[in-house]
Amino acid sequence: MSFNTIMLEKKGNIAKIVLNRPNRLNAINKALRSDLYAALENIRSDNEMKVVIVTGAPRVRIRQGKKEVKYSFSSGADITEFMKPREGEPPIEIMTYIEEYEKPVIAMVNGYALGGGTELALACDFIFASENSEFGQTEINLGFLPGWGGTQRLPRRVGISQAKRLIMTGDRISAIEAEKIGLVDIVVPMEKLEETVLAFASKLATKAPIAVRLIKSVIRRGITMDMKKGLKLEREAVDTCMRTEDFREGVKAFMEKRSPIYKGK
């Protein structure tokens, strides 16, 4: 399967999607949204793939005989499309699609994650970033506001006051500050980023797929409910898990003091 604006890599049971518009610092246009959706659909149907990593390709240029590298997860929406009719979108808004995706999705941020880039990271389950990364909801600087979920996902992650500060000012913040306020989960030196993400993804990939899917769903849905409804949702998910082959395998493996082998059944 080939794409124009992303690269899809599969290794073992981990899939990696690389946003690949480096000359535009991986700005998100219609073609990239469509490719991202298609890649995720491809991964969804591949039972071998347990975890998805999303990252961005660096921009490499040669100036006066020297190589210059600029790192970017995504610089945000491609502003050259702002005045074009918004037609032919994927069948579901891509950020919501990622948030509701059945498999865990990790944003591996190296460099800029601005505007829609921050929103893409927020739609993922986890955000890992290198120390050189920058985050920001910069839309206010163009006279508008986040339109891919930033006004809703950011306050749920960092709190209302911090979200207002970032969205109203358009300020960029470092990865260190982003980690401090809860926007980022883990910050590491750039040279350690990929190995850290892969180690975490590999751990997730050993867990029971049905249980992981239900955990994502119960937390996402339950956080908008009152406690009584949320606990009912949790109980239903537990009952579902306990009827699976994976649950029986997990209990058996525990009793036999061995690692379980889950089949997603």
3-state helix, strand, coil in the chain (%, to 5): 45, 20, 35
DSSP state of 140: G
- The tokens for 113 are 């994650």
Specify whether 89 is catalytic. Answer: no
Phi and psi torsions of 15, nearest 5°: -105, 140
* Amino acid in the structure at residue 255: M
Distance in angstroms (rounded) separating the CA atoms of residues 46 and 26? 26
184 Cβ neighbours under 8 A, 6+ residues apart: 109, 127, 128, 129, 133, 135, 175, 178
Partnered with residue 9 across adjacent β-strands are 16
Catalytic residue among 41, 68, 99, 119: 119
| CA–CA distances in Å: residue 32 to residues 38, 102, 146 | 10, 21, 18
Specify whether 245 is catalytic. Answer: no
3-state secondary structure string, 37-99?
Answer: HHHHHHHHCCCCCCEEEEEECCEEEEECCEEEEECEEECCECHHHCCCCCCCCCCCCHHHHHH
Q: Taking Cα atoms as reference points, which of 121, 157, 115, 156 lies closest to residue 136? A: 115
Catalytic residue among 41, 93, 102, 139: 139
Residues with a known catalytic role = 119, 139
